Chains A and B, each alone.
Chain A
């Protein structure tokens, strides 16, 4: 009825383009609202990250320092080697319990030399030391039997309550019902601080040491668990990378596209989404119960994590291979290269940065995994020594970093809780450096077409 052009002309606003009409205003408002939502979302994310990091840092940094008591100990021949023959087998017969008197007399001596006044009995004084002190002495004597009869200066760990007192976690109020420490012992600790015998310093043993039992949280370290994680990662790298890359090259470059490869493809994607605990059960059934591999061994842990990491590596490798333009392959084939030459000489080098990134991210994921380890015996009290050979590292029982953190978090003494947070810091440092490496590799070598 009405002419369209005329109509438009009539309705069109006769105002400047610089003044906004209602509809434009609404659209602009919607856009700025959306930007605001986005910023709020990012803000919430950042806030969470900051809260997480500050909590971890504030709770965990304490684990890196530890309270030590420095004392001179007389290694009495009458207690340690009655026969006087310096026969190592006989010296070994003296258990850690036999070393307690030496520590008691060392305290008496310290009190005397520093002229301190205290009513405490030497047994009560000795209680401020860690239970590890006796074994520290014994290990020293067994390593240096010729030192028996000498007076040696030792640096012992103080027990977790004294350490907590130095760190402010334990106060005179909080120990009102505590039977493990008394205010009189804390007074004695104050005296030791004055004469400089008791100090809080950086504790390397937390980073390189082994786990300790519930009675001596002060002696626990994450080092051996770190080695466990390292050996597991070696297994994962040595198995998952070649298998994963071979599988993806075949699927991407050689395999015919038919229903069989389709099924394989779907299943790989499905496997990537399978909860990790499932791989743990599989590991228990196949590797331990059927193949009779040892329990609690990093080798088994590594095999289980390999199963878990494979799909991740295959998917990222295939994506990296796909990203190499077909023109490269065509050119190689055009100048007479075989299909395999084209892949290995031209496609694979170009896809390598992507493959490496995927592998590193897969490894980082495996490094933080705890659930499958639960079923193959890698979570628990596993205070093994540092492995000396590769075989021992793979086969002797060990824990892993996240498993160690979980184990510490559930123990009774609050001092273990601090160590759990400290362990998280170390684990995070590993994860961040691995991810940074992945980003750097990608930045440095990736080519875009």
Chain B
């Protein structure tokens, strides 16, 4: 009897849920790099406001933006975190699903560091080293040949003869793109391989040729030297712990929480730190964003307040908790604050 009662009670709640409107908490998903920052903000938001604590999910920038672009309505997320700018393709997909007014918010900058086991060899990299280590084809005597390098000593005579093994973020992570742009592509250009590829590139226009050459540059070798990690940095860390030769790509904040297990490599002679990233000396950094659906402001309670709180001086400023966790604060934070207050959408005022 009681079972029947519970079942019918449940059915009633279920029906009530479908008819009852307005979800009352903000729903966020996206980049796992932004996740710690977003959860710090969500927690402080829940503590200081009368709104419930927002729910923050991860899954990668692309996955988050895909869910963001599924449409407008309570069963879709309100905010997408991304460790890269939204692509034109994604804006188009959004528009097709009815998500037209998107507010772009830059929260600050994040460094990407190269780290290896604390007891292993230390490295001082340049982008060229990484291109020579991981690219599918490299330039030898004016010819593009399949990458023959086996150890770091093959790549750069100053390095120890440690087997090449890199754990890099998988393609669904925004970090991967920054790695390709700022490291591999930079190395490709520095070695002269880019010019050779551009000369050989097929395409109708210069732009198409350029694109083809870039694409050839960033195609990585597939013989097991470079391993894509689709999970989070903890997975990369676990891989390095089991394979001491491995070099991993991490976010600065992750490295700073695990300094007892990892040693960081310099890039072009600069040690990564919030300071060297803020001044722009350390080359491999990228802005972090979140995107807000304007249509949900006023529908989901607390959404605008959350967006404003995220970039408030006391949170995202130089002395705020985000900077303390490893975010490099944005020098143009005030502009962002006004943009959010005005609810300026993408493409309207640029």
Residue numbers of A with Cβ under 8 A of B are: 92, 95-97, 131, 135, 138-139, 170, 174-180, 212-216, 234-235, 237-239, 241-242, 288-289, 291-297, 299, 377, 379-385, 390-391, 394-397, 409-414
Contact = CB atoms under 8 A, between A and B. Distances in A.
Interface in B40-61: 40, 42-44, 46-48, 50, 52-53, 55-58
A246 to B, nearest CB: 11
B232 A410 contact: yes
Interface in B212-239: 231-235
Main secondary structure of the interface of A (DSSP, over half): loop
23 contacts: A95-B314, A135-B47, A177-B263, A213-B40, A213-B43, A214-B39, A215-B36, A216-B43, A239-B7, A241-B3, A242-B7, A289-B75, A292-B73, A292-B74, A293-B14, A294-B23, A296-B55, A380-B35, A381-B39, A382-B56, A390-B9, A394-B17, A396-B25
Given A178-B259, A377-B27, A409-B234, A213 B52 contact: no
Contacts of A212: 43
Contacts of A92: 50
Nearest to B251: A412
A223 to B, nearest CB: 15
Q: Contact residue range for chain B?
A: 35 or more
A213 B42 contact: yes
Given A214-B36, A296-B55, A242 B3 contact: yes
Contacts of A180: 256-257
Given A241-B3, A410-B232, A410-B235, A381 B314 contact: no
B13 A381 contact: no
B336 to A, nearest CB: 20
B38 A293 contact: no
A414 B257 CA distance: 8
A379 B59 CA distance: 10
Contacts of A413: 257
A105 B271 CA distance: 36
B14 A381 contact: no
Contacts of B17: 293-294, 297, 299, 394-395
Given A238-B6, A409-B234, A412-B36, A384 B321 contact: no
Nearest to B233: A412
A246 B47 CA distance: 47
Contacts of B44: 96
B235 A381 contact: no
A262 B17 CA distance: 37
A295 B75 contact: yes
Contacts of A297: 17
B56 A291 contact: no
Contacts of A242: 3-4, 7
A174 B18 CA distance: 53
Contact of B36 (A213, A299, A391): A213
A241 B7 CA distance: 10
Contacts of A391: 13, 16
A177 B75 contact: no
A292 B18 contact: yes
Interface string B280-314: 00000000000000000000000000000000001
A372 to B, nearest CB: 15
B274 to A, nearest CB: 9
A296 B234 contact: no
Contacts, number: 148
B29 interface: yes
A419 B263 CA distance: 25
Contacts of A138: 47-48
B40 A380 contact: no
Interface string B47-89: 1101011011110000000000000011101000000000000
B204 interface: no
B329 to A, nearest CB: 16
A288 B27 CA distance: 14
B254 A412 contact: yes
Contacts of A135: 47
B55 A382 contact: yes
Contacts of B3: 238, 241-242
Contacts of A234: 6
Contacts of B43: 212-213, 216, 381, 383
Residue from A175, A289, A412 with most neighbouring chain B CB atoms (10 Å): A412
Contacts of B58: 380
Given A177-B259, A180-B256, A296 B27 contact: yes
A293 B15 CA distance: 9
B7 A238 contact: yes
B10 interface: yes
B47 A235 contact: no
B181 interface: no
A397 B29 CA distance: 14
A31 to B, nearest CB: 42
A225 to B, nearest CB: 13
A288 B47 contact: no
A383 B53 contact: yes
Contact of B13 (A97, A216, A394, A396): A394
Nearest to A94: B48
Contact of A215 (B4, B27, B40): B40
B159 interface: no
A172 B319 CA distance: 26
B41 to A, nearest CB: 8
Contacts of B10: 235, 238-239, 394
Contacts of B233: 412
Nearest to B74: A292
B123 interface: no
Given A179-B256, A293-B14, A215 B324 contact: yes
A343 B77 CA distance: 49
B14 A380 contact: no
Given A95-B314, A294-B17, A412 B234 contact: yes
Contact of A299 (B14, B314, B321): B14
Given A135-B47, A414-B257, A214 B314 contact: no
Contact of B234 (A174, A179, A411): A411
B18 A214 contact: no
B260 interface: yes
